A = this chain, B = another copy of it.
């Protein structure tokens, strides 16, 4: 397991806390797209979209490769999985807590109420 720095986790959640960036992630997950192809999908300026892609890249959720004069964005699925597992681990903690409480109740029962 990689030890995740708080700064990195902050950046990942922050990057996902914007609907345009979440949409970019979904679109790029479906097929790799250049920054200008992405920009065509949104009302905002090219520079606006470019900044969003840069934010996703800083967070490690997206990477780019140069093809001619285009920069092709692709999703870094491992980073997405990292974020997902942070939340899935909470689910595990929760189940452990519920089990713990159930045990306590069972003990009370066994000890004669």
Name A residues whose Cβ lies closer than 8 Å to a Cβ of B: 6, 9-10, 13-14, 16-19, 22, 25-26, 29-30, 75, 77, 80-81, 83-84, 87-88, 90-91, 93-94, 97
Which 7 A-B pairs give the minimum distances between C-beta atoms? A13-B17, A84-B87, A14-B17, A6-B19, A13-B16, A13-B13, A77-B94
Main secondary structure of the interface of A (DSSP, over half): helix
A91–B17 alpha-carbon span in the complex (Å):
18
Within the complex, the shortest CB–CB distance from A23 to chain B, in Å, comes to: 9
Which residues of chain B are within 8 angstroms of A29 by Cβ–Cβ distance? 90, 93-94, 97
Q: Is the CB of A91 within 8 A of B81?
A: yes
